Amino acid sequence: MCKTLVIVIGCLIAFTWTIYSAQARPGKRFDAKTQTCRMIADGQLDWESDHWGTGAQKFKQVCKSCHTRDNDKGAPFLYMESYGSKGWNRVFAERRIPCKQDGSWDVLSAEELLLVNDYLYRNANDTYDPNDADSCG
């Protein structure tokens, strides 16, 4: 009887923690290029910026065509946790990056690049920090 209670309480704590961590993911992203606040935890963008959305797909199809582990293109290995949320925003909005400048990103439309940025921002290496990473609003 007592054991069961302990197990039930344990499960409740684990469950609450799961929900809590999921919510610690950032829900908004300020995009410097378009000067807009993107609500990435709502509606269509919620879907698109998660692991099954367009952002993740395009990252795999395009960026990961070079940035795999041990590739022969001279590209450093990259995955969603290579940078924090702000770091990814800088990659897309500010930094001069050779592959961006030589046209390797041009197969993606401006809209698709926003979705890739949303996906990486939302799943970056600091997104489980309880002080969530929302950058606007």
- Of the candidate spans 15-23, 49-57, 93-101, 125-133, the one that interacts with ligand HEC by CB under 6 A turns out to be 93-101
CB atoms within 10 A of CB 85: 23
Could you say whether residue 62 binds ligand HEC (CB under 6 A)? Answer: yes
Are 63 and 76 within 8 A, CB to CB?
A: no
Pair of tokens at residue 89: 């925003």
Kindly tell me which residue out of 30, 57, 105, 134 binds ligand HEC, with binding defined by CB under 6 A. Answer: 105
Could you say whether residue 99 binds ligand HEC (CB under 6 A)? Answer: yes
Kindly tell me which residue out of 18, 23, 61, 65 binds ligand HEC, with binding defined by CB under 6 A. Answer: 65
Name the one residue in this structure whose structure tokens are 């910026």: 49
- Of the candidate spans 16-24, 29-37, 70-78, 127-135, the one that interacts with ligand HEC by CB under 6 A turns out to be 70-78
Sign of CA dihedral 72, 118, 125, 90: positive
Could you say whether residue 66 binds ligand HEC (CB under 6 A)? Answer: yes
Could you say whether residue 137 binds ligand HEC (CB under 6 A)? Answer: no
- Cα–Cα distance for residue pair 86/117, rounded to 1 Å: 10
Instruction: Report in angstroms how near the CB of residue 87 gets to ligand HEC at its nearest.
Output: 9
Q: Nearer Cβ to ligand HEC, position 24 or 64?
A: 64
Are 7 and 85 within 8 A, CB to CB?
A: no
Sign of CA dihedral 54, 15, 136, 82: negative
Kindly tell me which residue out of 41, 45, 56, 63 binds ligand HEC, with binding defined by CB under 6 A. Answer: 63
